[in-house]
Amino acid sequence: MRFLAPLALLAVSTSALPITDSDLTDSSTGLEKRAEGMYPFTFSTALRGAVRQVSGVALSITYNAVNGWLFHVHNKLAQDIVAYVVDVSSGNTDVSAQPIDAGKEYSWYVGHNLVDTNDQGKFEWKTNY
């Protein structure tokens, strides 16, 4: 049984909305918004932490039977990013969005209450810089 995502996650989940030309520019800065990196995967119990390089960002996904899927991201870039985990099988629903400062690492879990085993997913990161 899948539960609804916490409101804190819903507040940052905007990539599932239709994109228009006006959405491609940040009105406060005039900078173009860009999707910089994307990696498709399956929410599998066989994920064991292999490191993938996704356009300058290192990603590792490890399954844990108790907590779900552990995402470890190392932002090797000179700019801050927001890392997204998307459940493609549920209509491209953002299940997590984590800001990661330039040069920093961050780890977090995506639990069984947010995604089902064997759902198709994707990791992507974006920046406004």
What confidence category does residue 22 fall into, taking pLDDT thresholds of 50, 70 and 90? Answer: very low
Is residue 76 domain-resident?
yes
Helices (H) and strands (E) in the chain, counts: 1, 8
Beta strands across the sheet bearing 57-64: 48-54, 57-64, 68-75, 105-110
23: in domain: no
**Tens digit of each residue's pLDDT (9 = 90 or more) over 46-76:** 999 999 999 999 999 999 999 999 999 999 9
Domain that holds residue 83: 7-16+35-127
Helix H, strand E, coil C: the string for 33-62 is CEEEEEEEEECCCCCEEEEEEECCEEEEEE
* pLDDT recorded at residue 108: 98
Mean pLDDT of 111-117: 96
The pLDDT of residue 35: 55
Under a CB-based contact definition with an 8 Å cutoff, are residues 44 and 117 in contact? Answer: yes
In-domain check, residue 102: yes
Burial of 4 (0-12, 13-18, 19+ CB in 10 A): exposed
> CATH number for the domain including 46?
2.60.40
Q: Tell me whether residue 2 is in a domain.
A: no
Domain count, the chain: 1
- Assess if residue 51 is contained within a domain: yes
Average pLDDT, the chain: 80
